[in-house]
Chain A
Amino acid sequence: MTPLRVPVKSALRATTTAASVTRMWGRIEARSRSRAGAPVSRGRMALLVAAAILLAIVGLAGAWPRQGTSVASPPGPVLQADGDVVHPIRVDRDDHRLALSDGTVITLSAGTSLEPLNNSEDTVVLKQGVGRGRYDIAPGGPRRWTIECGQATIEVVGTSFEIEKRDRGVHVDVTRGVVLVRGEAVPDRVVRLTAGMSIDVPGGPLGPARSVHEGAVEAAQPPVAESAPSLAAPGAPRAPVARAWRKLAAQGEHEKAYTALGGGGIAVEARSAPVDDLFALADVARLSGHPGEAVEPLRRILADHAGDARTSLAALTLGRVQVRSLAMPDAAARSLQMAMTLGIPSGLSEDAHALLIEARSTAGDRAGARAAYARFRLLFPESARTSELRRWLVEP
């Protein structure tokens, strides 16, 4: 008897949630509203059609915001979808959805507060209190968005992410786009998160959070090394440091290479490093016993060098570090899925699929681990690891 019957969807679960239905409706309403407008003259229509054709050609290369997902927003501050100004909000009992005139939707959980600190035609600064806020910022808009939440400041330009502010820290989870998270307790005081990444910023006696002023972007200052000797004194040119660590890394002297880079040196070097150096920096971090510092160079490969043929290797390495060294199995599962989507070389595919089973099981996702195991058996029926991997399917 075949285990699969038609229609196949009877074997599948629903794909929508209350949150996704609400989120999509907010955007549909906003877009439908912006499409309603005055009739256009024939001459102007011809010009618009010509411009649209040109934009469509450029848009295919992904150079412009995605078609159909951005909303033309009039100049001036962003308003609520009903035309009212954005007021401070404190949500009492039920979740509150705030739809804005540019297509952005903010969903706040019960007990959460939100206060606009600045709202203009090019900037929106909001302050979120304790609780959970889900932000679906309409991409392609003219405004830079900043969310202040105590220990961290989050900067976005069209993305989808969630902030949970607790008494002892802030958790930021990015679903789509790019987000900068700044804070005293953030590694190097600023970290760049892309889709699938998250960060927990600890709380504690850190003092008042710094606000990011309009238009200003503060460069992160690396912490000064106290005990580790460094070939570059603060303020000295980094070229001698760059040559030294590379040579040591090429010789397999990863601990010496790490010392040569100095405290925070990997993150500093990663800012402007080419892909080869980013891989090498990640190796220095991993192989010198500092796996947490491998994350930044690997993230940069994925975010800034998406066209490089080795991005899948970066995603795979990131997933391995996250599950084996950093106890971040959820993030590891996302990294490994990304690696598979990008296309892993056949020689590493079995390892990647095995890691995914481990990551999901460690994250408590038993159903996902079983799904990954089923796929592993299908792809690698002769694998000697099949029996060993079964342990990840057993309840602890």
Chain B
Amino acid sequence: MVRAPARPQAERAAAESDALLVAGARRGDARSKERLYLKHVDYVAGMCTRLLRSTETSEDVVQDAFVIAFSKLESLREPEAFRGWLASIAVSQVHRRLARQRVLKLFGLDRGLDDAPLDELAREDLSVEARSELAALDLALQQLPPKQRIAWMLRYVEDSPLDAVAEACGCSLATVKRWISVADAHVKAYVQIATEDEPS
């Protein structure tokens, strides 16, 4: 019988440090790789689904990100920073996928389904007003250029620190601050939302 990664293993994986797991994966230990995957897949998949607004496309990107990460483990300088490094790879793949979708749409060849706008991902217990705000936020974000949208989402949807956002977006801290500021001004024209520098 083929062994599949069981969900209880995710809890065990969470308790092990990334440095230990990366070291094991580098030695060729398949269980270490699997535990790295289980420890970070929810985080990466959630981020990709929210950035791409599509569960199907997100699964492809998540797979690409992990395959690339596992093939380049030797190049990771700080094993304990595996999550941030993995997120950078995933965001890079998101950028590539969005660029590809734009070209395919030009030719009428894009057959993807955007089945995951933010309001569709709302928690069951969320109020109607909050859902409305999520819908408005989703619409506002769709109007932004991809770089600004992704930077803003990494900061205020995914709660990434600014330096991590800059690393994920492959730009300087100053540039990412500028993108986030422009996007923030646009979003607040549509949505009531308190970002870090404002009182709620």
Q: Which residues in A have some Cβ–Cβ distance to B below 8 Å?
A: 1-9, 11-16, 18, 20-28, 31-32, 35, 60-62, 66, 68-69, 80-82, 96-99, 175-176, 195-196, 306-308, 334, 337-338, 341, 367-368, 370-371, 373-375, 377-379
A307 to B46, CA, bound (A): 31
Q: Which residues from B are CB-within-8-Å of A14?
A: 42, 46
Of the candidates B5, B104, B196, which one forms a contact with A25 in the assembled complex, judged by CB atoms under 8 Å apart? B5
Of the candidates B46, B66, B111, B195, which one forms a contact with A195 in the assembled complex, judged by CB atoms under 8 Å apart? B111
Total residues of chain B contacting the partner, CB 8 A: 71
Interface check B108, CB cutoff 8 A: yes
B200 to chain A, nearest CB (A): 6
Knowing A35-B71, A378-B132, the reply to whether A24 touches B63 (Cβ < 8 A) is yes
A14 to B191, CA, bound (A): 23
- State whether A31 touches B104 (Cβ < 8 A): no
Q: Which 9 A-B pairs have the closest CB atoms?
A: A307-B108, A7-B159, A3-B130, A374-B131, A62-B109, A8-B157, A15-B49, A374-B132, A97-B4
Interface check B74, CB cutoff 8 A: no
Q: Which residues from B are CB-within-8-Å of A370?
A: 128, 131
Q: Which residues from B are CB-within-8-Å of A81?
A: 2
Knowing A22-B5, A24-B41, A371-B131, the reply to whether A13 touches B123 (Cβ < 8 A) is yes
B68 to chain A, nearest CB (A): 9
User: CB-nearest residue of chain A relative to B191?
Assistant: A4
Query: Among A15, A23, A196, which residue has the most Cβ atoms of chain B within 10 A?
Result: A15
For the complex with contacts A16-B41, A306-B109, 15 further pairs of A-B residues with Cβ separation under 8 Å are A1-B200, A3-B130, A8-B156, A15-B55, A16-B45, A21-B38, A25-B5, A25-B41, A26-B4, A32-B33, A80-B2, A308-B108, A334-B113, A371-B119, A378-B132
A80 to B3, CA, bound (A): 12
Q: Which residues from B are CB-within-8-Å of A31?
A: 63, 67
Of the candidates A9, A98, A379, which one forms a contact with B46 in the assembled complex, judged by CB atoms under 8 Å apart? A9
A346 to chain B, nearest CB (A): 14
Q: Which residues from B are CB-within-8-Å of A337?
A: 113-115
- State whether B200 touches A12 (Cβ < 8 A): no
Among B83-91, B133-141, B163-171, the stretch that binds chain A is B133-141
User: CB-nearest residue of chain B relative to A61?
Assistant: B107
- State whether B156 touches A7 (Cβ < 8 A): yes
Of the candidates A6, A25, A26, A375, which one forms a contact with B193 in the assembled complex, judged by CB atoms under 8 Å apart? A6
- State whether A6 touches B100 (Cβ < 8 A): no
9 CB contacts below 8 A, A to B, read: A4-B193, A6-B159, A12-B134, A20-B55, A25-B4, A31-B67, A66-B60, A68-B60, A341-B112
- State whether A378 touches B136 (Cβ < 8 A): yes
B79 to chain A, nearest CB (A): 18
Of the candidates B2, B58, B157, which one forms a contact with A97 in the assembled complex, judged by CB atoms under 8 Å apart? B2
A195 to B56, CA, bound (A): 11
User: CB-nearest residue of chain A relative to B138?
Assistant: A375
Interface check B11, CB cutoff 8 A: no
Q: Which residues from A are CB-within-8-Å of B27?
A: none
- State whether A25 touches B157 (Cβ < 8 A): no
Q: Which residues from A are CB-within-8-Å of B137?
A: 4, 8
Q: Which residues from A are CB-within-8-Å of B195?
A: 6
- State whether B111 touches A175 (Cβ < 8 A): no
A8 to chain B, nearest CB (A): 4
A28 to B45, CA, bound (A): 14
Of the candidates B113, B124, B134, which one forms a contact with A4 in the assembled complex, judged by CB atoms under 8 Å apart? B134
- State whether B119 touches A15 (Cβ < 8 A): no
- State whether B133 touches A61 (Cβ < 8 A): no
Knowing A4-B133, A68-B64, the reply to whether A60 touches B49 (Cβ < 8 A) is no
A7 to B113, CA, bound (A): 26
User: CB-nearest residue of chain B relative to A95?
Assistant: B4
Interface check B194, CB cutoff 8 A: yes
A27 to B66, CA, bound (A): 10
User: CB-nearest residue of chain A relative to B130?
Assistant: A3
User: CB-nearest residue of chain B relative to A373?
Assistant: B128
Interface check B176, CB cutoff 8 A: no
- State whether B104 touches A22 (Cβ < 8 A): no
Interface check B77, CB cutoff 8 A: no
A367 to B33, CA, bound (A): 37
Q: Which residues from B are CB-within-8-Å of A22?
A: 4-5
Interface check B80, CB cutoff 8 A: no
Knowing A24-B62, A31-B63, the reply to whether A7 touches B157 (Cβ < 8 A) is yes
Q: Which residues from B are CB-within-8-Å of A373?
A: 128
- State whether B129 touches A3 (Cβ < 8 A): yes
Q: Which residues from B are CB-within-8-Å of A25?
A: 4-5, 34, 37, 41
Interface check B150, CB cutoff 8 A: no
Q: Which residues from A are CB-within-8-Å of B66?
A: 24, 28
Q: Which residues from B are CB-within-8-Å of A80?
A: 2
A307 to B108, CA, bound (A): 4
Interface check B173, CB cutoff 8 A: no
A377 to B124, CA, bound (A): 19
Interface check B116, CB cutoff 8 A: yes
